[in-house]
Amino acid sequence: MQTKEQKREEENLLFGLRPIIEAIKAGKEIDRLFVQTGLKNELYSELMGLLKSHEIPFQYVPLEKLNRITNKNHQGVVGYLSSITYHKIKKLLPLIFEKGKIPLILILDRITDVRNFGAIARTAECSGVDAIIIPKKGSAQINADAIKTSAGALHKIPVCREVDLKVVIEYLRESGLQVISCTEKTTELYSQQDYTLPVAIILGSEEDGVSSEYLNLSDTHAKIPLMGSIGSLNVSVAAGVILYEAVRQRIAN
């Protein structure tokens, strides 16, 4: 028997050149898009133009993959409508300030595991994070598994899907936020940072952590000490540690 999340994902399936073109023109959020390798025709050219102008990521795949997703007449294009509505941080951040809140923003750099992503979102919502920022490319898909793992948090917390995290980080700093990268490549402990200020916390992939480019753009770094022999925490656990340090400081302030 299908779960509610699996049924929702099946309902979000979209296929065929014209239906996908019309969905984009109507302003629908496309979460994933697969395009058959070597596809060429007039409608395909129109679709490519829309994908470029709307900055929608897609992946070229063989016909066999599309046939595994659906046995219906997909015309070489299969996609999924997003299960959530994405936001833009440049529109959201002023509203956070207008409400009199001290922004607490979470940036996820290449977190690709959907269950980790869902667990992070659940912790973020519980700890009062105002928004999660992810890149358009190289991030976990917000699918049924992610939503289920988040215990519904992904329907409550704003998620901003941005083209260029470098531009976003620079914007946040210019807006008065302190940007803190969570990394083992520092001597500064996470508990030594001040989270009572407007702050954005960057968490990186489990494979290689926060990108060096974003480390260099950050105002400061924060290390979670490890007492055992394993070299790193699961990223969702690291998120819980650092976010609840922010909660502790803000309650005490």
For the stretch 124-155, pLDDT in tens is 999 999 999 999 888 888 887 888 899 999 99
Which pLDDT belongs to residue 207? 85
- Residue 180's nearest CA partner among 94, 109, 111 is 109
Residue predicted with more confidence, 92 or 208: 92
Query: Could you tell me the pTM of the whole model?
Result: 0.85
| DSSP bridge pairs for 78 | 15, 34
CB 109 within 8 A of CB 210: yes
> Domains in the chain and their CATH numbers?
4-81 (3.30.1330.30), 89-252 (3.40.1280.10)
Write out pLDDT tens, residues 72-113. 999 999 998 888 889 999 999 999 999 999 999 999 999 999
How far, in Å, CA of 181 to CA of 225, rounded?
Answer: 14
For 22-32, write each residue's pLDDT tens digit.
999 988 888 88
- Which two tokens mark 8? 């929702």
Alpha carbon distance 29, 20 (integer Å): 11
| C-alpha triplet 176, 177, 182: angle, nearest 5° | 155
How many angstroms separate the CA atoms of 246 and 248, rounded? 5
- pLDDT band for 39, please (50, 70, 90 cuts): confident
